[in-house]
Amino acid sequence: MALLALGISLTGLAQQGERPNSAISRNLEIFNDIYKQLDLFYVDSLDADTVIGWGIRSMLRQVDPFTDYYPEDDEELRQMATGKYAGIGSIVRFHKKEDRVVIAQPYEGSPSMKAGVRAGDVIQTIDGKDVKGMGTPRVSTMLRGEAGTTFELRVKRMGVDEPLTFHITRQTIQMPQVPYYGMVSPGVGYIFLTGFTDGACREVRQALLALKAQGAVSLVLDLRDNPGGALNEAVDIVNLFVPKGRKVMFTKGKLSSVNRDYYTASEPVDTVMSLVVLADGGSASSSEIVCGSLQDMDRAVIVGARTYGKGLVQAIREVPYHGNLKLTTSRYYIPSGRCIQAYDYRHLNPDGSVGTVPDSLTRVFHTAHGREVRDGGGIKPDIEVRPDSLASIIYDLVEDDAFFDFATLYASQHPTIAPAGEFSLSDADYEQFVAYIAQSGFTYNRRSDEVLELLKNVARREGYYDVARAEFDALEARFSTDLEADLRRHRKDIEPYLCDEIVQRYYYESGAVKQQLVGDACMKQALQLLADPQRLDSILRPQTP
């Protein structure tokens, strides 16, 4: 089947008027002959799995980014579907200065946390094998294995002279889909959902019932940066808030066997509580099914930014030798009848980039109460919250691992901190950060300097530089502030990122989520809206002229 698929990718060579089956046979023959000649005559030996694997993936890249091939023993597909894997339960990342992978965050209660591994630990060896220079995917594979197996992990820890050695027994790790929920103001509950793997609806349901028991009469469901997952989990989550028997979505594809209507099948938890859903450009797939369906039913107000725009559905099909092919089989349509697919993967731009559907070509649909909504470009929020523009120094600090490294230092010096959501840096703490960055060798390119230099070069070419030299010199002098001054000037923007990184060291992912809500513009809008039932109702049930 894999070879058949490879042949299809070459159908562009088919002669005009040639039957599709003839084109497939001809291209299969060409492909087989090319590989045989490579195998026989190429100067070096070829690895069939590698070369043909590249060919398969090259073909699939011509389709869409969601269609992919998973060979035998590839754990990625199972983890995407179930949220489970066997390992130590830590997020790892590559640290450029160390040229090594570091522990970014152990999961709470995981084997790595119980063994004493901490965020910031630099991995030296795994079972005696030095991992210097190895990328994150390779190190992640080495950390994983069969549940119940034990291995030796050696790390370097800031403030500790000698490397630390841990013997960790791998376990099956179930990544939580709801890492945090809680009351955010009197009567208002909050649920942060990270994905839609198996059991996501069960976790949301449990969180919702717990919040209602705590007095929640309204809810903020946060789907920001949620890439989606299982379609049925999305339908079931919508079912928590709407009556049984409602049509949530339907799918259409080339084959009638993939055409299906999806209805709510259970009794809901609450159909009357006020509901706000937070979304952004990272909300995709199943997140958009939840956002779009609740919007089309006028059940929730969407707050934030326009979602990603993935209106395609994938299915898993087996291929020979125990492999799997995840391929796009249909598009989905939400209750108003619209498909929110934003990208046209079959008609690329001249430069090879993917084109999007312009707003002018989208079509109007209507919600249950007659509100206008559109297809073709993700879910547009009912209340848009534009993100604040950030100083360029923040991007450079993130790229340089500056926040990560200072948080490691801070955690080594402070056994405890204030609770998540209440933590802040004192003036002395922030000055320590400024001094740390100044002494670390950190450098950055201010975009204002780059633009000024570009303007000077243009002025030279056009003959204006000499007459405007004094003005250029004055601008250059105005821009010539030092690093420490820039760090202090942008403290308001820098400090939240620093606090989030520090809080994560003490309170793990749940604490980091809670801390990030401090000063969150979308959350502020949601709380204001939920405190004004008349305004909320006017959005969901607009008066017709």
Please give the Cα distance from 400 to 394 (Å, whole number): 10
Q: How far is CA 61 from CA 55, 203, 222, in A?
A: 10, 34, 31
Is residue 229 helix, strand or coil? strand
Contact 112, 103 (CB under 8 A): yes
Among 68, 121, 236, 296, the active-site one is 296
Dihedral sign, Cα of residue 316, residue 317, residue 320, residue 321: positive
Distance of alpha carbon 15 from the chain centroid = 43
- H-type alpha helices, 317-466: 392-399, 402-413, 427-439, 447-462
Q: Please say if 310 is a catalytic residue.
A: yes
Among 285, 286, 287, 330, the active-site one is 285
Candidates 332, 311, 344; CA nearest to 259 is: 332
Amino acid at 322: H
Contact 118, 103 (CB under 8 A): yes
Q: What is the 3-state secondary structure (H, E, C) of 128-189?
A: CEECCCCCHHHHHHHHCCCCCCEEEEEEECCCCCCCEEEEEECEEEECCCCCEEEEEECCEE
- 317: Cβ contacts below 8 Å, ≥ 6 apart: 324, 325, 327
Contact 499, 425 (CB under 8 A): yes
Please give the Cα distance from 8 to 20 (Å, whole number): 9
- Helix and strand numbers (H, E) in the chain are 18, 23
- H-type alpha helices, 11-148: 20-41, 48-61, 76-82, 111-115, 136-143
State which H helix or E strand residue 278 sits in: strand 274-279
Please give the Cα distance from 32 to 39 (Å, whole number): 11
Please give the Cα distance from 149 to 88 (Å, whole number): 11
Amino acid at 298: D
Is residue 223 helix, strand or coil? coil
Contact 177, 203 (CB under 8 A): yes
Q: Which long-range contacts (CB under 8 A, 24 or more apart) does 342-351 make?
A: 342/308, 342/309, 342/310, 342/311, 342/376, 342/377, 342/378, 343/64, 343/309, 343/310, 345/63, 345/64, 345/65
Among 286, 310, 336, 400, the active-site one is 310
Q: Please say if 296 is a catalytic residue.
A: yes
As annotated, the active-site residues are 285, 296, 310
